[in-house]
Chain A
Amino acid sequence: MTITDSHDAALTAEQAEARERIYALPLESLDPANEAHYPSGDIHWVFERLRAEDPVHFTAAEHSEYGHYWSLTKWDDIRAADTNPKDFSANGIITLARPVPESMTEEEMEAQRRQGITSLLSMDPPDHEIHRGAVSEAVAPANLAAMEPLIRERAGAILDGLPIGQEFDWVDKVSIELTAMTLATLFDYPQEQRRKLTWWSDVITSAPGPGRAVENQEDRVVAMNEFFDTFNDMFTRRQSEEPRVDFLSLLAHSPHATDFTDRELFGDGIVLLVGGNDTTRNTITGSVYALSKNPTENAKLRANPALIPSMVSETIRWQTPLTHMTRRTTRDVEINGKIIPKGDRVAMWYVSGNRDEDKIQNAASYIIDRKNPRQHLSFGFGIHRCLGNKLAELQLRIIWEEMLARFPEINVIGEPVRSHSSFIKGYESMTVVIPRRN
């Protein structure tokens, strides 16, 4: 199995073989949402080929377990769709990660909306602004400045507790720990139960199955209900308490709070939970991995810690922790020469746009001091752009400042175990050894 997704160096025999295999497939059979492409890193060959041969790609239902859908793979097309909420509606489901009906009428879309959850991420204006506006203060600059010392103290404590000279799992001991603590603060949830937040998020984002967060669909429903009940209890309690700047208190004290439905609150809870969990966690792990695979870049960083913010942005681009978001067309829309019929689903593959050579030079390479490291698609563009982007960058910056102050090297042992998901691009585990302290 090929593992690395950096193909700047000469390809290994396995990578060359994987690439050849992808290029030999009939074009119309390519299904970028197929989870099997992800743990191996083969997905980059799928997108490399689509960008060159069929940038606006249609996958028919017979080739996909998610029903038929369109893929946008070029930077400019993704940007155009993401900044056009009128023609590309977020209303409904915003990932491909579950089977849905072939195509939908407006009535069916509305029915689905009523049955399923809805959230600030899956709303169009004007509801979107109300929900986003309600919670945004928690991650506004003033609150982030207040959180910085807390995050730094926690990062330091986590790093000081790591074993020296012994193998351990970086994902569990560092990436999950730090992000779970931050999440617990944002939700004002008991710190000692913070891993529960991580677990709920994992349940939500992964399909049930052996070795997954939950084994089967029934357990999944139980877990989701437990999160919903907990979230609801907290919301109700916040209503009778003084306003604070955690997500739940902000929702509970919003001037629109009485209009919020249970389904909307649940949806907002899910989005805020998942948004603050996998993304930053996998980028922290990704930064350690990418630097270990690119010794020249690692040396640059260690010689000049002022490069940390630029390295953080480059890692967010290179990792692209959320591979895509989906939209549904509200009319027949022409994009890059193809007409996408009204009501079809469109996946905006950020993970592909971030490797588009027409926009980013040497896009496959990890270069921590590239010219415009902040120009990437990982946060999305337009009104749904990541709400917590500055908090993500803050956590990444702080953990690296604290790491550089403590450890002269961090060695990745073997290859990490990658997530089996076409939505979350991340790592289940990654073994490392820290040989010594500074």
Chain B
Amino acid sequence: MEVTFVLQDKTTRTVEAEPGWKLMEVAVDNAVPGIDGDCGGEAACATCHVYVSPQWREATGERTSDEQAMLDNTFGVREDSRLCCQITTDEELDGLIVEVVGS
């Protein structure tokens, strides 16, 4: 499966992903700039903040409560904000597009 990150400079980076990983891990493994994943995927640092494209909102699910708490304290939060450590890759997300917010 493939996922696409729209970077802060508006260029795009499409990478191969295996199902079952945190989207943050996919980004860090591929050195996607703007995704740091400092806390290791615990929704405790907000360094993997992304905006999810409208067509993928439903498939990527709802914010978790820890994620919501961090987003309450993060820059540039919108309705489509997610911490991508809380999104798990699966075949249904093949073609997913997210925009990197940066922190």
Interface membership of A379, Cβ < 8 A: yes
Interface membership of A305, Cβ < 8 A: no
Which residues of B15-71 are within 8 A (CB) of A?
A: 36-40, 42, 44-47, 66, 69-70
> Which residue of the partner chain A has the closest CB to B66?
A83
CA–CA, A301 and B36, complex, Å: 21
Verify A382–B37 contact, CB threshold 8 A: no
Contacts of B72 in A (CB 8 A): 125, 129, 383
Verify B44–A79 contact, CB threshold 8 A: yes
Contacts of A137 in B (CB 8 A): 75
A416 shortest CB reach to chain B, Å = 28
> Which residue of the partner chain B has the closest CB to A132?
B73
CA–CA, A383 and B42, complex, Å: 12
Interface bits A68-88 vs B (CB < 8 Å: 1, else 0): 000000000001001101000
CA–CA, A82 and B45, complex, Å: 11
Verify B76–A140 contact, CB threshold 8 A: yes
Verify A382–B69 contact, CB threshold 8 A: yes
B27 shortest CB reach to chain A, Å = 13
> Which residue of the partner chain A has the closest CB to B69?
A383
Contacts of B73 in A (CB 8 A): 128-129, 132-133, 136, 383, 385
Verify A83–B42 contact, CB threshold 8 A: yes
Interface membership of A165, Cβ < 8 A: no
Interface membership of B14, Cβ < 8 A: no
By size class, the interface of chain A is: 20 to 34
With A83-B42, A381-B44, A383-B69 in contact, do A374 and B75 touch (Cβ < 8 Å)?
A: no
> Which residue of the partner chain A has the closest CB to B44?
A381
CA–CA, A383 and B39, complex, Å: 12
Q: Is the interface of B mostly helix, strand, loop or mixed?
A: loop
Interface membership of A408, Cβ < 8 A: no
CA–CA, A133 and B72, complex, Å: 8
Verify A374–B69 contact, CB threshold 8 A: no
Interface membership of A375, Cβ < 8 A: yes
A325 shortest CB reach to chain B, Å = 14
Contacts of B39 in A (CB 8 A): 79, 375, 381
Which residues of B68-93 are within 8 A (CB) of A?
A: 69-70, 72-73, 75-76
With A140-B76, A141-B75 in contact, do A381 and B42 touch (Cβ < 8 Å)?
A: yes
Contacts of B69 in A (CB 8 A): 85, 125, 382-383
Contacts of B40 in A (CB 8 A): 372, 375
Verify A385–B44 contact, CB threshold 8 A: yes
Interface membership of A437, Cβ < 8 A: no
Verify A381–B75 contact, CB threshold 8 A: no
Contacts of A132 in B (CB 8 A): 73
CA–CA, A85 and B76, complex, Å: 23
CA–CA, A137 and B76, complex, Å: 9
B78 shortest CB reach to chain A, Å = 14
A301 shortest CB reach to chain B, Å = 20
Verify A83–B103 contact, CB threshold 8 A: no
Q: Which of B38, B70, B75 contacts A375 (CB 8 A)?
A: B38
Contacts of B36 in A (CB 8 A): 374
CA–CA, A385 and B66, complex, Å: 13
Interface membership of A370, Cβ < 8 A: no
> Which residue of the partner chain A has the closest CB to B73?
A383
Verify B75–A136 contact, CB threshold 8 A: yes
Contacts of B102 in A (CB 8 A): 141
Verify B44–A382 contact, CB threshold 8 A: yes
Q: Which of B37, B66, B70, B76 contacts A374 (CB 8 A)?
A: B37
Which residues of A103-140 are within 8 A (CB) of B?
A: 125, 128-129, 132-133, 136-137, 140
Verify B44–A83 contact, CB threshold 8 A: yes
A125 shortest CB reach to chain B, Å = 7
Verify B38–A374 contact, CB threshold 8 A: yes
CA–CA, A385 and B72, complex, Å: 12
Contacts of A133 in B (CB 8 A): 73
A172 shortest CB reach to chain B, Å = 32
Contacts of B46 in A (CB 8 A): 385
Verify B75–A140 contact, CB threshold 8 A: yes
Question: Which of A83, A137, A390 has the most B CB atoms < 10 Å from its CB?
Answer: A83
CA–CA, A381 and B102, complex, Å: 17
CA–CA, A315 and B42, complex, Å: 23
User: 7 A-B residue contacts at CB 8 Å?
Assistant: A79-B42, A83-B44, A83-B66, A132-B73, A374-B37, A382-B69, A385-B45
| Closest A-B pairs by Cβ, 10 of them | A381-B44, A140-B75, A374-B38, A83-B44, A129-B72, A382-B44, A383-B73, A141-B102, A381-B39, A374-B36
Task: Write the residues of chain A forming the contact surface with B, with a CB cutoff of 8 angstroms.
Answer: 79, 82-83, 85, 125, 128-129, 132-133, 136-137, 140-141, 372, 374-375, 379, 381-383, 385, 390
